[in-house]
């Protein structure tokens, strides 16, 4: 079921139907609150539809920068469900490879290099022959390495 939702999200994103992509991301979040994968794609859609403040807030939540509620049995179940989202969204052949790539570039521009690298790795996991993602990952790694030594 979750695989089908992420496939739909990817199909809508790739076709430029950002309203439907947003609806799917929100639907996943209703079922699995605080899922970082869905939060990141929702942030990407917000950013692409010029809702930058909302996008930044969602990216912060996805990175765990915002305080969360104390764990309960319900949140434990949600965490288990959320753990299934990344493999579903970044598995080999995922329709989200292009969205992961776009997300990686955006997160790098927003000075979130760790999240950017994770997104680009997910793009490559989905599509190992994705040359633009390979180049972007190499450039970010090079740039990040230079900044650490400076």
Domain ranges of the chain: 2-67+74-149
Over residues 46-82, the pLDDT tens digits come to: 999 999 999 999 999 988 764 444 444 444 444 454 5
**How far is the C-alpha of 57 from the C-alpha of 43, rounded, in Å?**
8
7 pLDDT higher than 50: yes
Q: What is the pLDDT of residue 92?
A: 78
Looking at 1.10.8, 3.30.300, 3.40.50, 1.25.40, the CATH number of the domain 2-67+74-149 comes to 1.25.40
Q: What is the DSSP string of 95-139?
A: TTHHHHHHHHHHHHHTT-HHHHHHHHHHHHHH-TT-HHHHHHHHH
Q: Model pTM?
A: 0.83
**% of the chain with per-residue pLDDT over 90:** 58
Given this model, what pLDDT does residue 99 score?
94
Q: What is the pLDDT of residues 92-123, one digit of tens each?
A: 778 899 999 999 999 999 998 888 999 999 99
* 64 conformational bin, left if phi > 0, alpha if psi -120 to 50, beta if neither: left
Mean pLDDT of 16-37: 92
């Amino acid at each position: 079921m979750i695989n089908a939702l992420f496939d739909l999200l990817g199909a809508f994103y790739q076709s430029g139907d950002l309203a439907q992509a947003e609806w799917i991301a929100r639907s996943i979040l209703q079922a699995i609150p605080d899922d970082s994968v869905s939060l990141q794609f929702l942030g990407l859609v917000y950013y692409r539809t010029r809702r930058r403040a909302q996008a930044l807030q969602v990216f912060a939540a996805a990175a765990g920068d915002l305080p969360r509620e104390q764990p309960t049995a319900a949140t434990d179940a949600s965490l288990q469900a959320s753990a299934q989202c990344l493999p579903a969204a970044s598995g080999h052949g995922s329709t989200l490879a292009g969205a992961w790539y776009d997300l990686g570039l955006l997160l790098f521009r927003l000075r979130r290099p760790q999240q950017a690298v994770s997104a680009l790795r997910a793009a490559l996991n989905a599509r190992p022959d994705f040359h633009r993602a390979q180049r972007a990952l190499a450039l970010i790694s090079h740039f990040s390495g230079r900044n650490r030594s400076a």
